[in-house]
Structure formats: structure tokens, C-alpha cells
Amino acid sequence: MNFPDRHTMAGALQLMREGRLDPAGLPPTRPDTCGAVIFTDDTPGLPGHLQHFPAALKANIARQGWPTTCSSALLAGYRSPFTASAVRRLEAAGARFVLSTAMDEFGMGSSCEYAVTGPVANPWAKGRTPGGSSGGAAAVVAGGTAWYALGSDTGGSVRLPAAYCGLVGFKPTWGRVSRLGLVAFASSLDTVGVLARCVADAALVMQAMAGHDPGDATSLSSPVPSFPGPAPVRGKGLRVGIPRDLLECDMAPGVRRCWEAARQEMLAAGLEFREVRWPLAAQGVTMYQILAAAEAASNLARFDGSFYGRRVEEPVPGGLAFQDSLQATRTAGFGPEVKRRILWGAHVLAEGYREDLYLRARALRHNLGRQMLAGFEQVDVVALPTAPETAFPLGQRPDDPVAMHGSDVFTVPASLAGLPALSLPAGVDEAGLPVGLQLVGPPLGEDVLVRVAGLLEARIQFSAEQEVPWCRP
Amino acid sequence: MVSPLKATVGLEIHVRLATGRKLFCACPVRFQAPPNTLVCPVCLGLPGSLPVPDHGAVRLALRAGAALGARLNPVSEFARKHYFYPDLPRNFQITQYDHPLFRWGELDTRATGGCRVRLQRLHLEEDAGRSVDPAGGEHTLVDANRAGAPLLEIVTEPDLGDGRQSRRWLQSLLLVLQHCGVCEGNMAEGDLRCDANVGLVGHGPGALTEIKNLNSFRHVAQAVDREIQRLQGMVEKGETPAVTTRGWDAARRDTVFQRSKEETRDYRYFPEPDIPPLQVAEDWWQAAREGVPELPHARQLRLQQSWGLTSQEAWALSRSLDWAGYWEEVARSLDDRGIREAGRLAATWVLGPVSALAPKGSPASLAPEVLVELLELLAGRDITAEVARQVLGRRLEQGDPRPPRTMVRDEGWLSLRAGPELEAVIDGVLERHPAIVRDYLEGRVQVLEYLLGQVMKLTRGRAQPSMVRQMLGDKLAGLRGNF
């Protein structure tokens, strides 16, 4: 770690255990200057080891009584009558959630510009994106407003903002953390993840929220092992896979430089490299666009304003027709990116197109998953950059969905295969913007990811201390 | 005149499973609860809610499949069916599509005068809510109490021929499902709803008309026959019937156009990502097969063949699981005691006085041992049928707890055997009615019944009528000599 221990939960807890820090001596949280916070709540929580560390939720994770707006005009004023399972588990461990944060509407976007409350800025450079869709969650953690945040990752929505904001972003195996209370975007890809300042903090939160939940039929029943603590682990004997097919994609010079430096560090740490072949991974974005849109069109069908949310009623002669109200509500309530994906999703499932688009993408996804799993027969983790570039300027891409999806090329394969993945800071580019290194693990390999990431984190010179926003004087 | 084209009828039946709770959440399912009181985030489709399949519903569906000889898909799959409708909270219905719980199966009632109908598939799905349009109101009101109720959909092959046959077969199906405890069969509460697919032989491979939402047996019979008539009428006039979806207007007794084939909805089915494939463990399937009781049609045949009951008696007993079990216990006990025609004796009394007098139409208030004791007295001619009826009346209507033997003894109801006491009564009757005796002797023999009635009255039913008739006849024959 290259910033003072008391700025991370794991470090502060260690200091408190040793009697060298009391809770009053913790660095205070800072105000949000990025436009990320959309709701605050100061209700005290339960006692527990996480009680001294105010935390944030992405606006698509339900907490009883809180607005769960998903940054959509359609859900303005909607408050959830129940709490997400992941949040309940954390609260039982003392977690105090005090903020709800902006996001790309319903999780659709990579820049946090598609939020009804306006774009969110990156604490490292205010004119740039924090990444998306968990951009608000990343911004409050990087900016020191919260110690950690829960986000959701469907195709990279936790890992990408983590990379752009110099954070650790941890997405579990699909099914490892209950999705009950996470507003569905693409159910077969959605996961609840965590954004934190260091690997140990991310592991602490993941440990508390992982595990079987009878309220989620897709939740896995396998027991959750203890994730390694903050102590450095040895790299000898660990094998790291390099997916050559994906690394042939374009990436920015600063990203490539950090990636090469990270490789050198891994070698120096005694890790062994093996090449893995994931030839279908380069088509992952295309599969993702079809499958995620199909599920999104279905999941978002419920938002018609009749049972909850904002309803737009167009007076119609002779009474109000359901179809008219439905159309008016959805037309006014959804933003452009959501509409784009719903239309596309309805199209890929429509008769006459289903075989060529939806069913083909599903078959490809299945094969990709098999390819990726085969790779793990020879390696413990696979390493690759998190994103091909660093945070881009706000306002550059909202109307260019193709370029926007380009940011996801390295993150969607793990989502499609349901594998756990973690992004950690790997340095900064020429402009001083953070670069992310991504580790992908085998199914249920969260503990391996934590182990390797902890090892790399200790060796990689990430950034000068005074440059990290949450440490800045 | 050419005879009309033969019709084919297939049914799509929605049966509400008797779990008492919804398919994907723990909300109770109850008829006529105040609107929107039996709801939760799951059945309202609130953001972030997830459906979790109820094992109880799966087990009942398995039992239904086992009873209908259906082929289990060891791995089936839930799917989403999309359409926008006010009473469908998620705007998609969770059902099964490409991989239903069961394929094939049949219900064959030919042995008892019915027909054989093959089943295409059986699958689980959730019900929708209810939309109500109050008269004069500007808004449609939605009640989500029913949303998510567990349904079993059964789709038949077009093996039926007309309305009457459809109705009878459907009644048999419901009876089977009730016997298995799969469905309560309360038609008024919508436990069974049905769509009928009507086609004409030679007019396309599929059905010409789908009649939606028939919610009573009578409507099924009427709608199917009316639609066959309509289609045949068109063909006779040289018209070609189009493929349409129609509804049933019970008041006008006619099917009404709803939409044509061109307007067929695209439901954009795809596998439900929130529910993993449904894998049925072998022990569940075995338990389901073992949970199937003897089915009504099989029982009817057995009662006729092994116990000598008439088909009416056998059917009347077989159609009710309660009464059939009750009868069987009584009949077996009587048979064990060496009583002849034990099955028929038990059937006469169970179907007659016992079921007529039993509170709530249930045998629960008369233990089988009690009826056995009573019928044993009757079979041994210790009491008359009249006395037996009185004992039942005391027990069932007045709650008299005494065992029959005790009651008969206490009340002095034991039969009067041929002897001085009975002879004295008969002599007394003959003396008091000289005019009637004369009528008899002059050839109006039917007046014997009057004299018999007098004797029965004086003995308060304790004398065996056949014996009294015999004795009266003998006495009167003796008098003829003196006349």
C-alpha cells in the first residue's frame, strides 16, 4: 500500500486493534464535489466491525425507506419497502450506509452521464468521467465521501469506474452475492460488487456480503472461504494466464505502459506466466450487447407507472387507455440510452430475428464460457488491463454508443462467463489518470483473486500519496 | 345433403394448485380477500424483487403428472412470456415454454364409458391479477391478489369431438386432480379455467378457433358446440373459416371475435434468468408417484367387478375420495365378519341414509365401526331397516352418542320374532278391523298393506315386515275357512 494505513478500513482497524488509533482519530469524510450523491441518511447502524466507516450504495440497490431511483426519472419518488440481502448482511456486521449515489440510468452506460441528476465528475480530474455505470459510487469512495460503496457490475460497471478512479473494484462470481434487492438490468449478468480503496477493504466487504441467500434462487450454496487478510502473500507457485487474443485489441499508450510494468512486477514477485486462448472473448461485446439488451427489455417492462413510480397520464377522449398511459410514461420516463437498449432488446427477441441474434449470441456465450473455463485448468488467475484507456472527458461520447461500448471490451468476458474479477490500480498515465489492472478468477475463486491482488498491490507503485484524492491535504 | 365435417376439439386447461400460497412468493392465495391485501414485493414485481419457486407447487404438479401418466422432463425451465397488461405487474408472465415439466400423458376413461384424450404437455405457470372496470368509472381497477397464484397448465391433443364429450372428459380430469389433492376444484373460485381449440377435419392441421377463458363446464359444452355449428355452417355455405381467437358471450350464447391470426402476439419468450433450471430429484418423483391414490375410474371398475356394485353405485362412491374410503372400510369389516353381500349392503346404506344425514356431507361424524355394528345387527335380523334408520337419525341428527347395540337394547328396539307377542298384536289388529278383513276375504288383497301398516305402527317398526306379511296371510287364510 502506498498511502497511510489510516485511510483504509483494513489499516485503521489494524491500528485500532493495536490501540494506536481511536475512532475519533479517523480521517473525516469529505463533502461530495462531483455531483455523485443523490440522497443521504444519518440513521445510526448496529454495532460491528464496520460501524466507523460510512459507506455508499449505488442507486439501484434497495434499502428500506430509501429512494431506489436507478437515476431514472421514471422512478422519481419511489422508495423501496425492503432492503437488499447484501446490504442486510453488511448492516449485520455494523455497516453504516449513509449515501445513495448516481449512476447511468438502470446501469446502462460507461460514463455516468446518463443519470437524471446530471453527469458525475471524476475526483482525479473534474472534467472527466468517473466511468460507469457505478460512477457515483466510485466518485464518493475516491473523493473521500465514503469509505467504500456497493455497486453493480453487469458488464464491467464496478471494474471500469474502479479503474478510472484509482480504486479496487471487486465483482464476485455470478450467484456468490445475493441479487435480491438489486434492481435487475440483465439478470444473467448482474452482480453486486464493491468499490474500495484497497484490496483488503474490498475483501472485508465481500467477505461480509457473500454467501447463500434463500431469497435468490440463483444464489450459490457453496460455503465462502476466509479471504486472506492484509498480510503480504508469496507469489511463488502461482500461475498467471495472459489472454493473448484480447491483448491484441487497441489500448492507449499509458495503459500499455502500466500493463507492461505490472507484468514485470508479477515476474519479479515470482509469478509464472502462461498463455491462455480465449479467441471468442474479442466478440464478447457483441454477445453482451444482444443478451444484456434482451434481458433489459424484459426486466424494464415492469416500469409502466401503474403500481409505482411516476405515471404520466395523457387525457384521452372517452377515458384513459392503459396503452396510452403506458406509452406516455415510458416515453417521458426513460432516457435515450435506456430506450435504445429496450428497442434493441425487443428486436433481438422478436420472431424472425431471435434465431440470428438472441439464440446465436446465447450459443456463443456458452462456448466462450467453456473456452474461458478451459484456460483455468492451467492457471490460477488471468491478468489483463481493465479498460483500454483512462477516464475520457465528459460530454465526449453520450451520443456514440459504439465508442461507449468499446470501454467494456476487457470486462465483459468475465461477466459473460459469470467469473469473479477484480480491478486494482496499476499506476497512472501521462496525464496522471489512474490505470486499472484486472484479474479474473475461476468460478468461486474470490479468495485466489484477493491473494494475487494483495500481492500485486503491495509491489506496484500506484501513485504519489499527495495525488490520491482521498489523501490530498 | 352432405353430412357436416367432423370437428376436433383440444383443450388448454389452467388448474389452480391447492398449495394455498403463490408460486414465487409466500403470499397466501384466498378468494374474495379485500383487493391488494395478499401481495408482496415479489408478486407486485417491485424493483429488486426475485421469484423463488415454491417446492409445494412443484410437488403437486409432479403428482398430477404421475396421475396422468405423463413423461417427466428431469430438467425443465421457466421462461418469460411478454405482454403489456394492467393486471400483469411485471408485464411478463413466468411460465414454462421450450422445456415444460411434462410432455405427453393421457386420461383414458373409455372403460367407464368415456373417451381417451392424449396430453401434449403439462407445465407450471403463475396467474395474473384481475382487472375490474366499474360501471361508469373512468379507471380500470387492478387487484393483484391473484397475481402469482400457482397454475398447472394442461394442453390436450385434439382428441375430443363435441361439447358434451369435452365437458364430460374435463369433469373426469378435474375429479382425478381432486383425488390427488392437486386441485380443490372450486369452479366458482376459478380453480379451473379452460381455452378450447376447435377445428374441422380437412381444414388445416391446427385448430381454426381458439375460444378463450371458459370458466364453467357448461360454458365449455355450449361454446364448443356453438363454435362447431358456426364453422360447419360456414363450410356448408362454401366459405373458408379463418383462424381466429374468440370469446364466449354467455348471455347471447355465441362466440365473439377477438382477434385474427395476423394479430397474433409475439411473446418474445426467453428462459427466466432469475430461476435456475428446475431439476427434479429422483426421490421427489418417486414420492409423487407414490402419492397418487387409486383414481376414480379405476376404482369404479374395481367396485363393480370385485364387490358386485352397480355402475351407478360404484361411480357415486368413486367420485368422492372421502366416501369411497369410508365405504371401503365398512364393506371390508362386514365382509370379514362373514356377512353376505357386504359391499352392496354397505353401499346401500352409505349412499342412502348415511350420506343424506351426515353433517356437511362428510362421513367424518360417523365412525365406520359404528356403521359396521349397526349393519351387523341389521344383517342378523336383530333389528329392522326402520330401526336402523332411527338409530342413524339419533346419532347424526340428535348427537346421541350411544353405540347402536346399546341404543337398540335401551330403547327396546330389538326385532319382534315370530311368537306369542307378535301374534297377539296381529290378532288384535284383525279384531279391530273387521270391515277390512272382510274386504280382504272378498278378494281386495291389496288391503293387506293397511293391516301390515297397523302392525308396524303398534310394534314401532320392530317387526320384520316380510315376516308380518307372512303371518297376516296365514291368519287370514285360516279365517277364510270360517267365512
Report the pLDDT value the prediction gives residue B480, as an integer from 0 to 100: 76
Least confident window among A139-143, A376-380, A402-406, B448-452: A402-406
**∠ Cα B50 B52 B57 (to 5°):** 145
Collect all residues of chain A within an 8 Å Cβ-Cβ radius of residue B50: 179-180, 215-217
The beta-strand segments (E) located in A213-350 are: 239-243, 272-276
Report the pLDDT value the prediction gives residue B475, as an integer from 0 to 100: 87
* pLDDT at residue A316 tops 70: no
* pLDDT at residue A129 tops 70: yes
The tens digit of pLDDT for each residue in A266-304 reads 999 899 999 999 999 999 999 999 999 999 999 999 999
Q: If residue A457 lies in a helix (H) or strand (E), which one and from where to where?
A: helix A446-459
Report the pLDDT value the prediction gives residue A232, as an integer from 0 to 100: 54
Of A48, A16, A15, A12, nearest in space to A29 by CA: A12
What end-to-end distance do the CA atoms of chain B give, in Å? Answer: 75
Is residue A359 less than 8 Å (CB to CB) from chain B? Answer: no
* Interface predicted TM-score (ipTM) of this complex, two decimals: 0.95
Cell triple for A13: 482497524
Looking at residue A352, what DSSP letter applies? T
Is residue A292 less than 8 Å (CB to CB) from chain B? Answer: no
Cell triple for B416: 319382534
Positive or negative, the CA dihedral A117, A122, A127, A132 is negative
Report d(CA B23, CA B278) in Å as an integer.
Answer: 14
Whether A100 is catalytic is no
Name residue, grid cell 371390508. Answer: B332
What count of Cα atoms within 13 Å lies in the side-chain half-sphere of residue A454? 21
Report d(CA A200, CA A206) in Å as an integer.
Answer: 10
Report d(CA A134, CA A58) in Å as an integer.
Answer: 6
Report d(CA A345, CA A342) in Å as an integer.
Answer: 5
Contact between B50 and A350 using a beta-carbon 8 Å cutoff: no
Mutate to test the interface with A, among B91, B126, B270 (most CBs of A within 10 A): B270
What end-to-end distance do the CA atoms of chain A give, in Å? Answer: 18
C-alpha B104: how far from its chain's center? 24
Whether A152 is catalytic is no
- Is residue A288 within 8 A of residue A309, CB to CB? The reply is no
The whole-number average pLDDT for the span A223-237 is 74
Phi, psi (degrees; rounded to nearest 5) at B392: -60, -40
Our CA-based measurement puts residue B89 at a distance from the nearest CA of chain A, in whole angstroms, of 6
* pLDDT at residue A212 tops 80: yes
The set of residues, in sequence order, having a beta carbon less than 8 Å from that of A241 and lying 6+ positions away, is A273, A274, A275, A276, A375, A376, A378, A379, A381, A382, A383
Cell triple for B290: 407414490
Q: Bigger pLDDT: A204 or B321?
A: A204
Report d(CA A161, CA A169) in Å as an integer.
Answer: 8
**Residue tagged active-site, from A157, A178, A219, A463:** A157
Cell triple for B335: 365382509
Per-residue HEC secondary structure of chain B comes to CCCCCCEEEEEEEEEECCCCECCCCCCECCCCCCCCCCCCCCCCCCCCCCCCCCHHHHHHHHHHHHHCCCEECCEECEEEEECCCCCCCCCEEEEECCCCCEECCEEECHHHCCCEEEEEEEEEEECCCEEECCCCCCCCEEECCCCCCEEEEEEECCCECCHHHHHHHHHHHHHHHHHCCCCCCCHHHCCEEEEEEEEECCCCCCCCEEEEEECCHHHHHHHHHHHHHHHHHHHHCCCCCCCEEEEEECCCCEEEEEEEHHHCCCCCCEECCCCCCEECCHHHHHHHHHCCCCCHHHHHHHHHHHHCCCHHHHHHHHCCHHHHHHHHHHHHHHHHCCCCCHHHHHHHHHHHHHHHHCHHHCHHHCCHHHHHHHHHHHHCCCCCHHHHHHHHHHHHHHCCCCCHHHHHHHHCCCCECCCHHHHHHHHHHHHHCHHHHHHHHCCCHHHHHHHHHHHHHHCCCCECHHHHHHHHHHHHHHHHHHC
Of A224, A205, A152, nearest in space to A9 by CA: A205
Report the pLDDT value the prediction gives residue A324, as an integer from 0 to 100: 85
Bridge partners of B108, per DSSP, are B116
Report d(CA B292, CA A369) in Å as an integer.
Answer: 42
Collect all residues of chain B within an 8 Å Cβ-Cβ radius of residue A61: 48
Report the pLDDT value the prediction gives residue A1, as an integer from 0 to 100: 45
Collect all residues of chain B within an 8 Å Cβ-Cβ radius of residue A62: 47-48
Report the pLDDT value the prediction gives residue A3, as an integer from 0 to 100: 56
Q: Bigger pLDDT: A73 or B2?
A: A73
Report the pLDDT value the prediction gives residue A229, as an integer from 0 to 100: 62
Mutate to test the interface with A, among B50, B98, B132 (most CBs of A within 10 A): B50
**Residue tagged active-site, from A71, A85, A111, A133:** A133
The whole-number average pLDDT for the span A407-434 is 95
Alpha helices in A26-113 (DSSP H): 85-92
Mutate to test the interface with B, among A79, A322, A338 (most CBs of B within 10 A): A322
Our CA-based measurement puts residue B215 at a distance from the nearest CA of chain A, in whole angstroms, of 25
- Is residue B318 within 8 A of residue B295, CB to CB? The reply is no
Report d(CA B158, CA B197) in Å as an integer.
Answer: 8
The tens digit of pLDDT for each residue in A55-71 reads 999 999 999 999 999 99
Report d(CA A125, CA A464) in Å as an integer.
Answer: 15
The set of residues, in sequence order, having a beta carbon less than 8 Å from that of A254 and lying 6+ positions away, is A390, A428, A429, A430, A431, A433, A435
- Is residue A66 within 8 A of residue A94, CB to CB? The reply is no
Which is it for strands B102-103 and B71-72: parallel, antiparallel or unpaired? antiparallel
B134-153 residues touching A, CB cutoff 8 A: 138-140, 142, 144
- The amino acid present at A1, given as its one-letter code, is M
Whether A171 is catalytic is no
Collect all residues of chain B within an 8 Å Cβ-Cβ radius of residue A80: 46-48
Report d(CA B441, CA B421) in Å as an integer.
Answer: 25
Rounded to two decimals, the pTM is 0.90
- pLDDT lower than 70: segments of chain B: 1-2, 481-483
